[in-house]
Amino acid sequence: MENKKKILLLTTGGTIASVAGADGLEPHRSGVMERELNQLRTYYDITVKDVMCLDSSNIRPEEWQTIAACVFVERTGFDGVVISHGTDTMAYTASAVTFMLPNIDIPVVFTGSQLPLADILSDGPDNLRTAFAMAASGRPGVFLAFDRKVMRGCRAVKVRASGFSAFESVNARYAGVVSNRGLVLNEQILQPVSGEAELRTQISNSVFLLKLTPGLNPKIFDMLSALGYKGIVIEAFGLGGINVLSKELASIHRCVEEGISVVVTTQCLYDSSDLRVYQVGNKLLELGVIQGRDMTTEAAMTKLMWALGQGMNPNEIAELFRHSLAGEITEDE
C-alpha cells in the first residue's frame, strides 16, 4: 500500500503489554505486540519507541511530563501518535497530557486493553486498530480509543474494572465510533487548532481530591492547609451540596482566604455540578469556591494541577475554570 500514514507508537506498559510473572501479570513488551504491529504495518508506516514499562498504577505526574514531552519532541514527520497505556490511570494521563500540549497539531491517541495481547481473546488488537485509525485521521487533539469508540482524553472515565467497554465519554458525545462505515467522526466534537502547538508540562503535586461524606470532620481542610496543599477538588453531593449546618463552610472559607483554590465537582458521574441551584451551593460561591461544572474528576484534578504548575494565582485559576481549553467543560451558550 502506497502513501501509508506515518504513525509513532509510544509504549508505556500496562495490561496490553503484560505477560504472566511469578506474582501475576507484569508489563513487558513482547513478541506478541510485534505480531499485532506487523499486521497493522500492512496499512501504516509504524515507528515504535518504548518510553517506559509500568503498570499504570505506578504512573505519576512525572511520567505524564515524560509522555507529553516525548509526544511533542518526537512528533515531527509523523501523521499521528498512539500511546499504549494501562487502563487504571489512563484517564488521568490523557487529561493531563491534554493540558500539557495546548494546540497539539496531530492526533494523539491513548489506548490499552483489559486482557493482555498474549491472550487469544484479548481486546487489545481491536483497540489498537481503532487507535491507529484515529491517529491517521488527521484530526488534531488528545483522544482515548477503546471498545471501538474514540473520546476526548479530557472526557474519558474508566467505568468498568474488567468489562471490555471500560471507558465512557462523560457529558460529551464520542469523537468517533467504528461502524460498518469504518471510523465515523463527529465533526461537532472535533475542535480546530487555534494557535501554535506548545509544550507546557509544569505541574503541581499540591492538589488533594476529597470525596465528601456525611459527617466529615471539617478539620480535614485545616490539615490540608497545614500540609501545604495549594488546591483541593471536592467531590460533593448531587449538584454540589455541602453541609452548611456544620463547620465545613468555615474551614473551606479559611482555605480560600489562605489562597488555596477549591474546586467543587459532583460525585454523580453524569450531569453537572451547579452551585447556583440550592442554598448550600450559593453559600459556597459567596466564599469564592470554583465550580467544576460538568468536568470529570480526572479533568478537574489535572487542570488544577496544571494551572498551579503554570504559576497562576487563585483569581487566574478561577477565570481559567470558567472556560474550556480542550473541550473538558461545556461552556455556557
Nearest Cα neighbor of 243 from 277, 212, 207 is 212
Q: Which residues are 104's β-sheet partners?
A: none
CA distance readout (Å), 249 to 13, 109, 254, 274, 312: 43, 41, 9, 17, 24
CB of 190 closer than 8 Å to CB of 141: yes
Q: Which residues are 290's β-sheet partners?
A: 263
Residues 6+ away with beta carbon under 8 Å from 47 = 6, 7, 8, 9, 78
Residues 6+ away with beta carbon under 8 Å from 289 = 252, 256, 262, 263, 264, 275
Catalytic, out of 15, 265, 296, 302: 15
| DSSP state string for 46-86 | EEEEEEEEE-GGG--HHHHHHHHHHHHHH-TT-SEEEEE--
Query: Whole-angstrom Cα distance, residue 111 to residue 124?
Result: 9
234's grid cell: 471536592
42 is catalytic: no
* Length of the chain (residues): 333
Catalytic residue numbers, as ranges = 15
